[in-house]
Amino acid sequence: MDTHRKVIIIGSGPAGLTAAIYTARAQLDPLVIAGIQAGGQLMLTSEVGNYPGFPKDILGPDLMQLMREQAVRFGTMILDTDVTAVDFTKRPLKVIVNGGDVYTAETVIVATGATAKWLELPSEQRLRGKGVSSCATCDAFFFKGKDVAVVGGGDTAMEDAIFLTKFANHVTVLVRGRELRASKIMADRARANQKIALRFSATVTEVLGESSVNGVRIKDSIPGADREETLPVQGLFVAIGHTPNTEIFRGQLELEPKAGYLVVKDQTRTSVDGVFACGDVQDFRYRQAVTAAGSGCMAALDAEAYLHRLSGT
Ligand code: NDP
């Protein structure tokens, strides 16, 4: 395989694969470095009901498989490995993958997405997959008739809590502050749901249980208050936001200082000429599969225009 490419795409969620479809159709022979956990966050969801063109819902992993097949049909080459380092300080742009192989490119499209945040409690990590989850749409089904808790006060927490009521007996939403961050419509929906109780100033200090969750310890978040109690639940859903997957770009591309998202100008241009970004790695606002796909298309068209300029045609 040619290790020098016109386009390398890092990431294989909706953004990366849409960029691949467009650059492949433009006959730019893209190489997608898909990551060991290829497919992005949709691989962790069940039914996707808001992706246009699928009136009957589609499973997240099935949608990603279809996008992958479409990209391959137009000539995309896909490597299911991780990128471990990049060197964008000189041309050609350098991408190093797990195992040390080096690929070079005229343009790179970064579509590495974002990852759900955890509370970082040892007990939470120990009980992941045994009652602790960050994906209500994937795991709610396992909590039929049970009592569960959701941590977080944003739209994701509200959405997860509402979704969980389809299965669970009761859902307690644990909000660390005194107010919700969620939009009014989502907050109102959660408040109106008889199966949901909102608890404010509640910090989770420990997830209880040996082989499966049987409760959470919660502490009053108000400074000075040291009231702690145990909430008996069989499941804990962590919905406290996301971290962009930008660690390998630190020192290479400009990152937004607060949360580390990639900074883009003119929609998809990063701080390095010829490097474009799309999807959740640069978008903390919309974070939808369809907006990620849309920005993947934009990055592909921008990369194509850049290559035209480079070749002087
Ligand atoms: P947000 O950043 O909006 O909210 C995160 C929530 O988790 C906040 O309540 C925050 O508390 C809390 N939190 C953060 N860290 C911790 C912690 N360590 N312990 C306890 N609580 C913590 O993230 P979301 O994922 O909810 O939403 C992200 C974006 O996606 C938003 O723009 C949202 O509108 C959008 N979205 C829209 C949806 C829709 O419209 N249907 C559905 C889902 C998401 P605090 O407020 O105290 O910082």
**Spacing, Cα 242 to ligand 1 middle (Å):** 8
pLDDT attached to residue 99: 85
pLDDT attached to residue 4: 97
Contacts 24+ apart (CB under 8 A), 45-51: 45/135, 45/137, 45/138, 46/137, 46/138, 46/141, 47/137, 48/289, 50/288, 50/289, 50/290, 51/289, 51/290
First CA to last CA across the chain, in angstroms?
27
Ligand 1 pocket test: pick from 51, 155, 180, 286 the residue with the most ligand atoms within 8 Å of its Cβ. 155
Q: What is the mean pLDDT of residues 262-269?
A: 97
Each residue of 130-145: pLDDT tens digit? 999 988 877 898 999 9
Taking a C-beta distance cutoff of 8 angstroms, is the pair 114, 280 a contact? yes
Q: Which of 130, 173, 123 is nearest to 153 (CA)?
A: 173
Which fold, 4-116+242-311? FAD/NAD(P)-binding domain (3.50.50)
Q: Determine how many CB atoms are found less than 10 A away from the CB of residue 179.
A: 9
Ligand 1 pocket test: pick from 176, 178, 179 the residue with the most ligand atoms within 8 Å of its Cβ. 176
What does the block give as tokens for 234? 């069989």
What does the block give as tokens for 240? 């406290």
Q: What is the mean pLDDT of residues 258-273?
A: 96
Same CATH topology for 4-116+242-311 and 122-238: the answer is yes
Q: Residue 78, by phi and psi: left (phi above 0), alpha (psi -120 to 50) or beta?
A: beta
With tokens 């962009």, the residue in question is: 244
Give the residue, by CA position, lying nearest to ligand 1 atom 2: 241
Q: What is the mean pLDDT of residues 276-293?
A: 93
Each residue of 145-159: pLDDT tens digit? 999 999 999 988 999
Angstrom distance (rounded) from CA 311 to CA 269: 19
**Spacing, Cα 180 to ligand 1 middle (Å):** 9
pLDDT attached to residue 38: 92
Q: Break the chain into its structural domains and give their ranges.
A: 4-116+242-311, 122-238
Angstrom distance (rounded) from CA 199 to CA 273: 48
Find how far residue 151's CA is from the centre of its chain.
Answer: 18
46 — pLDDT class (breaks 50, 70, 90): low
Give yes or no for residue 277 having a pLDDT over 70: yes
Angstrom distance (rounded) from CA 51 to CA 70: 16
Ligand 1, CB cutoff 6 Å, lining residues: 119, 151-157, 159, 176-177, 181, 183, 240-241, 285, 287
Taking a C-beta distance cutoff of 8 angstroms, is the pair 247, 115 a contact? no
Q: What is the mean pLDDT of residues 249-276?
A: 96
Q: What is the mean pLDDT of residues 274-282?
A: 98
Of the two residues 297 and 37, the one the predictor is more confident about is: 297
- Name residue 156's amino acid: T
Each residue of 185-238: pLDDT tens digit? 999 999 999 999 999 999 999 999 999 999 999 999 777 777 899 999 999 999
**Spacing, Cα 181 to ligand 1 middle (Å):** 7
Each residue of 78-129: pLDDT tens digit? 999 999 999 999 999 999 999 899 999 999 999 999 998 999 999 999 998 8
Q: In the CATH hierarchy, which top-level class contains the domain 122-238?
A: alpha beta
Give yes or no for residue 160 having a pLDDT over 90: yes
- Strand-pair partners of 244: 114
